[in-house]
Amino acid sequence: MIYGITGNTQKEKLWEPVAELVRWFMTESVPFLLQSEIADGLADRGLLSSETCHQHRSNAPAADTDIILSFGGDGTMLLSAHEVGAHETPILGVNIGRLGFLAEIEVGQLPETIRCLEKGDYRIEPRMLLSADVRDESGTASYWALNEFVIERSGSAGLLSIRVAIDGIHLNDYWADGLIISTPTGSTAYSMSVGGPIVAPGSSVVILTPLAPHSLTVRPIVLPASAVIEASVIRNEQPYVLAYDGRSRAFEHGDDPIAFRFSQASHVVNLIKLPEQHFFQTLRSKLMWGVLRHG
């Protein structure tokens, strides 16, 4: 088993835990590769020798390893997922952030966790992805997301009018700040923060959640994963963006109508889960369900 180590190099809390893990790997003769930015950062900080960092440095650890250890928060996990891409290398999130639904392992659990992985005492949880085809006068571009796609206004106080059809049948013209098209994984991200439903990650569904709709009768809706969702901004009177997993593409006021087509992607992201980890347990812990508050 070869481990690839990636992480959020903007967090100072990253460096010492990664250095400790590398020392432990070397003591236990466990093979590993370091993402190039992490290898350089460890060497620059004097936490590991330059020779060690150079020897284990990799520009594409997902291609040459069996498991990716992603140090950071949920944003880092999304970045790692996109770095892994179609390799589908399983990812284990190590939380050095705040609220984490994807990065569940705490730094202090790492030695015990690695022992479980070495014994094969874990499961791989495939996570559904969404793809988006964006068609304009210049052609078609394709993107994919683990959490969600969001069509939302940018830098203006006006609302967007977004026409949506499902499998060729008109659903609604949303008059709102925007529209979230979410996977079950993304149901606990942006969608949840604006009142969307929490969906168990193994579900084969897509969630449409409007952002501050002008009509109170417009509610989130859950669709089968097989649904093809077509959307367009029908009154393009202001700039807007298509955001996905921390990335975005901007569209300017007056651009020709843009056609968006969302559907289930052809590949998945594989997350590693330990035996005691379960989505419902994570919900209770992260959202503090059942915790009594006094005062």
Q: How far apart are CA 269 and CA 251, in angstroms?
A: 28
> Please, which residues bridge with residue 136 across strands?
139
Instruction: Specify the pairing of strand 240-244 against strand 247-251.
Output: antiparallel
Report H helices in 8-148: 15-27, 36-44, 50-55, 61-64, 74-84, 110-118
Kindly report whether the global pTM for this prediction surpasses the value 0.75: yes
Write out pLDDT tens, residues 8-35.
999 999 999 999 999 999 999 999 999 9
Q: How far apart are CA 258 and CA 148, in angstroms?
A: 19
Write out pLDDT tens, residues 87-125.
999 999 999 877 678 888 888 889 899 999 999 999 999
- Non-local CB neighbours of 81 within 8 Å, separated by 6+ positions: 91, 146, 245, 269
Q: What rounded mean pLDDT belongs to the chain?
A: 92
DSSP state of 61: H
What pLDDT is stored for residue 106 in this prediction?
87
What pLDDT is stored for residue 94 in this prediction?
94
Is the pLDDT at 44 greater than 60? The verdict is yes
Is the pLDDT at 283 greater than 90? The verdict is no
Tokens 């996109």 locate to 82
DSSP H/E element including 72: strand 67-72
First to last CA, the chain: 50
Q: How far apart are CA 256 and CA 252, in angstroms?
A: 9
Write out pLDDT tens, residues 220-256.
999 999 999 999 998 767 889 999 999 999 988 766 7
Instruction: Specify the pairing of strand 229-233 against strand 160-166.
Output: antiparallel
Is the pLDDT at 295 greater than 60? The verdict is no
Is the pLDDT at 216 greater than 60? The verdict is yes
What pLDDT is stored for residue 278 in this prediction?
83
Amino acid at 281: Q
- Non-local CB neighbours of 210 within 8 Å, separated by 6+ positions: 174, 176, 178, 179, 180, 218, 219, 220
Is the pLDDT at 40 greater than 90? The verdict is yes
**Residue ranges of E strands in 107-225:** 123-127, 130-136, 139-145, 148-153, 160-166, 169-176, 178-182, 205-211, 221-224
Catalytic hit among 40, 64, 74, 256: 74
What pLDDT is stored for residue 237 in this prediction?
73
Q: Give just the sign of the alpha carbon dihedral 235, 236, 239, 242.
A: positive
Q: Which two tokens stand for residue 167?
A: 């499998």
> How far is C-alpha 21 from the chain's CA centre?
24
Report H helices in 130-252: 190-193
Is the pLDDT at 293 greater than 70? The verdict is no
Domains of the chain listed by start with CATH number: 3-127+268-286 (3.40.50.10330), 130-264 (2.60.200.30)
Active site annotation includes 64: no
Residue 79: Cβ within 10 Å count: 18
Name the residue among 18, 26, 119, 146 with its Cα closest to residue 70: 18
